[in-house]
Amino acid sequence: MLTTAFYAVADCRTGILRFANAGHPKPLLIRRSLDRVEPLANSLGRGQPALGLFEDPPYETSETTLAPGDFLMLFTDGIYEVQGQNEELYSQERLLLDVKNLLRHPPGILFDELLQVIRGFAVGGAFDDDVCLVGMDFVGSPPNKS
């Protein structure tokens, strides 16, 4: 059994998102203005170990800038480790495609529709592992009052 973690701090004034990932699935950064969905990778471009595997691991803090309309989607691996017909697995690549098809929806509807799509893929229509979805909409900073 592994314990993973993802930690993020967003500055609502500047849009700067700082984050560190300890073996957790890469969150998806949904850039609605660009019609693009991308895994949120750290600046090294490679994964970092789950918690407790190594003594004093070198977890790196990375940074990206959010634009108004961007949506950050975090999830557990139970969302894509779903078995379909003929032992086919619902992959991270398939997750990216399905989220891209739903990126214009508000978060609650996006999550509901995505779960419905994945249940439709799954043998028996259910998830085999825990599933957690968390999202953050970045609307930009409020206008300055003079």
Q: Helix 107-121 to helix 92-102 angle, to the nearest 10 degrees?
A: 140
Residue 92 lies in a domain: yes
What is residue 23's predicted lDDT score, i.e. its pLDDT? 85
Give the pLDDT confidence score for residue 26 in this predicted structure: 93
pTM: 0.89
Bridge-partner residues for 133, per DSSP?
A: 75
Instruction: Write down the pLDDT at residue 145.
Output: 62
Q: Which residues span the domain enclosing 82?
A: 5-137
CATH of residue 132's domain is 3.60.40.10
pLDDT digits (tens), the chain, 146 positions: 778 999 999 999 999 999 999 989 999 999 999 999 999 988 777 778 788 888 887 788 999 999 999 999 999 999 988 999 988 999 999 999 999 999 999 999 999 999 999 999 999 999 989 899 999 999 986 666 65
Say if 143 falls within a structural domain: no
Helices H, strands E: what count in the chain?
A: 2, 9
Number of domains, the chain: 1
pLDDT digits (tens, 9 = 90+) for 20-56: 999 899 999 999 999 999 999 887 777 787 888 888 8
Q: Contact, 79 vs 133, CB < 8 A?
A: yes
Rounded distance, CA 81 to CA 24, Å? 14
CA–CA separation, 144 and 13 (whole Å): 10
